[in-house]
Amino acid sequence: MDSIRIKGGNRLSGVVPISGAKNSALKLMVATILTDEPLILSRMPDLADTRFLSNLLSHLGTDVERSGSVVSLQTANIERAEAPYDLVRKMRASFNVLGPLLARNGKARVSLPGGCAIGARPVDLHLKALELLGAQIELTDGYVEARADKGLIGSKINFPFVSVGATEHALLAAVLATGETVLENAAREPEIVDLANCLIAMGARIEGAGTSTIHIEGIDRLLGADYAVVPDRIETGTYALAVATAGGEVLLKDAIWEHNEVLWDRLHMAGAQVTDQAEGVLVTADQERLIATDIETRPYPGFPTDEQAQFMAAMTVAEGRSVIRETIFENRFMHAPELMRMGARIDLKGNEAVVTGVGQLRGAQVMATDLRASVSLVIAGLVAAGETMIGRVYHLDRGFENLEAKLAACGADIERVKS
């Protein structure tokens, strides 16, 4: 297993090109199931997760070809309307093939994903939404067996709480249903808007994406389209926090200002400067130390749970005490004990972490259990004295394209150690 070695202490300066958003790309790829025509996706990040989904789609019968950052997908026929446990267990987003398979093929068999490192993560809202759209669902031997013999039928779906995945899943199924579907209490994340825009480019009739109420008028057939994946707001926030923590000045090229407004607000409070520029977002940090600032994770437009670990890393060396509250996932502080191995002072109480900033972290051997937790250790390593070795790099490879190269180009002393 590869590791990443970082020698801390260098300031960062230069340009980081922001890649296409992993969490959007994965759902856009799934949209290929809805049409027999080619779907050409550009600004596609090359990540373990997108490669993994390509394998699943190939298994279903999709022809997938990549050329640079463009991926062409064509599902002329569904050859197998089933996603086995081994493919869904490794990446939960695979579960989202269920709705589109059902919409196009009338039946599907997809493994339940099971729990994961950040929480139980049930899929009850996904299944409820599909049932409301007329699917008959049975759970057998760890699999969802779903049928819609007469096709899906538009419906009113009122989510009891906000779920990104369930909103996307309902969208992906309802575009081919008969009649109108209304999603209430829908997620408003930029990835939802991106998926809706891609589906609209394929001919779907959708209004209201980005608000809590989405209207979908089902149609018989979707067409092919050329579509560019939205720049990754979580990658943007991650590099912004890296610069704010390590110090320096970096342009996050192609980053969209509006997608991270709460983070910009918190970074201003913490003493860093962030400005909206024509080419992206410029982050400047020339302060001695950041000032401790509190956050609470919330569905968009609130503070993203996917930036919580990185923010905590920044706060470990800030002046004062910050309170970090995680309200989306029940087990998303797994990075805290690893940060403590580097000298951070963190008290965990339920869903709250109280971080008391220390003057200096020390490099150590660390490892993490998920993608965002791993990258928080990279941020800590950039400011720690001495050498940090981060294990289980495969977590990082799931969601950060060219991480070492992007940071090294800005002056970080970072390298991958192959084993």
What is the SS3 assignment for 62-110? CEEEEECCEEEEECCCCCCCEECHHHHHHCHHHHHHHHHHHHHHCEEEE
100, 124 Cβ separation under 8 angstroms: no
Among positions 345-384, residues that touch ligand EPZ (CB under 6 A) are: 371-372
User: Exactly one of 107, 121, 289, 362 binds ligand EPZ (CB under 6 A); which one?
Assistant: 121
Q: Which is nearer to ligand EPZ, 272 or 371 (CB)?
A: 371
Site for ligand EPZ contains 160 (CB under 6 A): no
Q: Which of 17, 102, 9, 95 is nearest to 281 (CA)?
A: 17
CA distances from 30 to 77, 93, 150 (A): 14, 9, 22
For the question of residue 198 being annotated catalytic, the response is: no
Position 256, amino acid: I
Site for ligand EPZ contains 23 (CB under 6 A): yes
166, 129 Cβ separation under 8 angstroms: yes
Counting Cα atoms < 13 Å in the Cβ hemisphere of 411 gives: 15
Map residues 382-401 to x or -, x wherever contact with ligand EPZ holds by CB under 6 A.
-----------------x--
Point out the residue whose Cβ comes nearest to ligand EPZ.
165
User: Smallest gap, in angstroms, from Cβ of residue 62 to ligand EPZ?
Assistant: 19
Q: Which is nearer to ligand EPZ, 198 or 251 (CB)?
A: 198
User: Smallest gap, in angstroms, from Cβ of residue 366 to ligand EPZ?
Assistant: 18
Among positions 162-201, residues that touch ligand EPZ (CB under 6 A) are: 163-166
Site for ligand EPZ contains 305 (CB under 6 A): yes
Here the tokens at position 221 are 């057939």
Q: Which stretch binds ligand EPZ (CB under 6 A): 63-71, 101-109, 115-123, 194-202?
A: 115-123
Site for ligand EPZ contains 26 (CB under 6 A): yes
CA distances from 411 to 8, 145, 248, 408 (A): 11, 52, 10, 5
132, 172 Cβ separation under 8 angstroms: no
The partner residues of 109 in beta bridges, in order of sequence, read: 82, 145
Q: Which stretch binds ligand EPZ (CB under 6 A): 124-132, 202-210, 219-227, 347-355?
A: 124-132
* Contacts of residue 192, Cβ cutoff 8 Å, sequence gap at least 6: 164, 167, 168, 171, 186, 209, 210, 214
Three-state DSSP class for 285? strand
Catalytic one of 116, 269, 334, 340: 116
Q: Which is nearer to ligand EPZ, 306 or 397 (CB)?
A: 306
Element (H, E) at 349: strand 345-349
Q: Which is nearer to ligand EPZ, 135 or 384 (CB)?
A: 135
DSSP state of 259: G
User: Smallest gap, in angstroms, from Cβ of residue 150 to ligand EPZ?
Assistant: 25
User: Smallest gap, in angstroms, from Cβ of residue 13 to ligand EPZ?
Assistant: 28
Element (H, E) at 381: helix 371-383
Site for ligand EPZ contains 308 (CB under 6 A): no
Site for ligand EPZ contains 62 (CB under 6 A): no
Among positions 311-330, residues that touch ligand EPZ (CB under 6 A) are: 328-329
Site for ligand EPZ contains 30 (CB under 6 A): no
Q: Which is nearer to ligand EPZ, 69 or 331 (CB)?
A: 331
Distance in angstroms (rounded) separating the CA atoms of residues 204 and 107: 21
Here the tokens at position 158 are 């009122």
Site for ligand EPZ contains 260 (CB under 6 A): no
User: Smallest gap, in angstroms, from Cβ of residue 371 to ligand EPZ?
Assistant: 5
Distance in angstroms (rounded) separating the CA atoms of residues 38 and 36: 7
Here the tokens at position 332 are 């998303």
Q: Which residues bind ligand EPZ (CB under 6 A)?
A: 23, 26, 93, 119, 121-126, 163-166, 305-306, 328-329, 371-372, 399
Active centre residues (catalytic): 116
